[in-house]
Amino acid sequence: MFMLGRPVARVIVAGGILLAGIATAAAAGALAIGTCGAYGYAFDYSRIDAAEKEAIRKCSAKGCRVVTAMKKNCAAFAVDLKNACGAYGYASAARLGLAQNTALQQCYGNGGKECVIRAFACDGKG
């Protein structure tokens, strides 16, 4: 009985290592923004270009553009609650809280009066 346990344990460990490798491979994302608070984001893609294309596709306005790509980090987008077509800010950082704080600071710095986080995403280990 003891001899059977070791091979089974090895298979389980090998499977875990394989799954961890797959999760790491899908660690690309992007944030796209457009006019008046429009946004789109994508995460857990295997390639940055695919994530960028999906983020633009999800953005609900014409003229959306990718403002940040993510590689095992987080991104946030903030807009002025009083005027979504006015001030905004965006950022990417290793941790979500830092990305959100930086996006809010940019929004206020650009003249926002009541800035709020409109969207956020983390990719991989972000």
DSSP string, 71-120: ESSEEEEEEETTEEEEEEEEEEESSHHHHHHHHHHHHHHTT-SSEEEEEE
Which pair of structure tokens corresponds to residue 123? Answer: 């990719």
Label residue 75 left, alpha or beta by phi (over 0 means left) and psi (-120 to 50 means alpha): beta
What's the distance, CA 74 to chain centroid? Answer: 5
Tokens of 99: 């990305």
| Total-model pTM | 0.76
Based on DSSP, count helices (H) and strands (E) in the chain, helices before strands.
3, 6
Q: For the chain, 126 residues long, give each residue's pLDDT as a single digit of tens.
A: 444 445 434 434 344 433 333 344 568 999 999 999 999 999 999 999 999 999 999 998 888 999 999 988 999 999 999 999 999 999 999 999 999 999 999 999 999 999 999 999 998 765
Question: Would you kindly state where each structural domain of the chain is located, as residue ranges?
Answer: 25-122
